[in-house]
Amino acid sequence: MQGAQALLVRDLVRYCSLVRMKAAVYHGREHLRVEEIPVPEPGPGEMLVRVEACGICPTDLKKIRNGLLPGPRVFGHEIAGTVAALGQGTRRWSEGQRVVVHHHVPCGACFYCERRAYAQCAHYKRNGTTAGFEPAGGGYAEYVRVLDWIVERGTVAIPDDVAAEEAAFVEPVNTCLKAVEKAGLVPGETVLVVGQGPIGLLLGQLARGKGATVVASDPLPARRALASALGATATLDPAAEDVPGALRARTFGRGADCAMVAAVGPQAIAQAIAATRPAGRILSFAATSPGETAEIDLGPLTTGEKDILTAYSSSIDLQEEAARLVFSRAVRVRELISHRLPMERAAEAFELALRPGPGTLKVVLQMDSRTAA
């Protein structure tokens, strides 16, 4: 059996060296184009996954828009697909299984892991999925190579009745669940979610799941309408309404118990701080790149004893719970997808995501053009 497996691995390596695939390759600031590159080769303990769907994430968009990293690379980390081939010695999974793969997994034993600050772990910062070049996610390609530590600890099986585009939300739901857990929400609290893009809409649903009353703020009517459909008790237009005043009116003059900031910019954080009650919490989520600054008056913040919290990236402790929430549809994700485009239209997909119009929410690349629209 071992000899047969070695033969299969040699055949796979030879196959991968000859066959090429389409990928959206990043070359620098706002320079991304679809190219043909070699199919990556899975090494011992690794696997090759045929990507079925990959969501376009705001953190990748920032890297592309601002040229934060040198090219060439293939980004994309909200990955759902099917195991296409196994490297030598890979036993946990089998060909044909449908899987979600995370791109980061912590070591579990360092100073930061002991404190559950997994995103600060040096091993966590190593990207464990790649379509070639410097590992950077690799989901914006037809195939992705999953490194051994992700195979073992960062891969989740997809149930038969769950579409790939839904499963691709497991990682972003994990990041939002981590934020909601860090905010310490308890039943009966009033939560303001600033910004109703896909992340804000996920945060609102998860806050409701904790028993909170959710008030959603966004200047776009369509996004406010979707927030309401997904369970927000009230929606507010910050361009036309006094959001802090509205929160105080709903809470006997106090303000929100917690505000979660899912939008970038000084106005978003200022709105959240002003709308939060004394001794409340403000959680910053969307600001993840250098230069995303805001000026804060520390006097009333301090005398009001308001806590500023932050949350970034995913938690391995929440991996299974995030998957359960998506797969059971306790968190509704399909309504968040506004555009599904095939790899051939990747440039259009990234333009939509980089410069979203009123009707743009989540943009998903689907590798099977027959299912994209």
Provide the pLDDT for residue 288: 85
Measured between alpha carbons, how far is 203 from 151 in angstroms, rounded to an integer?
A: 28
Q: Are residues 68 and 158 in the same domain?
A: yes
- What does the alpha-carbon distance between residue 268 and residue 284 come to, in Å, rounded to a whole number? 10
Residue 319 lies in a domain: no
Residues 293 and 339 in one domain: no
Residues 72 and 28 in one domain: yes
Question: What mean pLDDT is predicted for residues 134-147?
Answer: 96
For residues 17 and 161, state if they share a domain. yes
Position 360 scores a pLDDT of: 95
Do the domain assignments include residue 320? no
**Average pLDDT of the segment spanning 354-362:** 91
Whole-angstrom Cα Rg for the chain: 21
Q: Is residue 63 part of a domain?
A: yes
pLDDT of residue 8: 52
pLDDT tens, residue by residue, 60-81: 998 998 888 998 999 999 999 9
Mean pLDDT of 357-370: 83
Q: Are residues 139 and 279 in the same domain?
A: no
CATH number of the domain at 40, please: 3.90.180.10
**Amino acid 4: pLDDT:** 46
pLDDT at position 18 is 57
Q: Do 46 and 13 touch, CB atoms closer than 8 A?
A: no
The residue that leads in pLDDT, 347 or 4, is: 347
pLDDT digits (tens, 9 = 90+) for 19-40: 899 999 999 988 899 999 999 9
Return the pLDDT at 201.
98
Same-domain status, 125 and 185:
no
pLDDT at 291 over 90: no
Identify whether 325 is part of a domain. Answer: no
pLDDT tens readout for residues 41-57: 999 999 999 999 999 99
Which domain covers residue 182, as residue numbers?
A: 173-310
Instruction: Output the domain CATH number for residue 240.
Output: 3.40.50.720
In a domain, residue 193? The reply is yes
pLDDT at residue 368 in the model: 61
Say how many domains are in the chain.
Answer: 2
In terms of domains, do 121 and 218 share one? no
Summarize the confidence of residues 294-312 as an average pLDDT: 95
Reported as a single tens digit per residue, the pLDDT across 97-127 is 999 999 999 999 999 999 999 999 999 999 9
DSSP string, 114-152: HTT-GGG-TTTTS--EESSSS-S---SBSEEEE-HHHHH
121 and 7, same structural domain? yes
Quote the percentage of the chain above a pLDDT of 90: 85
Residue 12 above 70 pLDDT? no
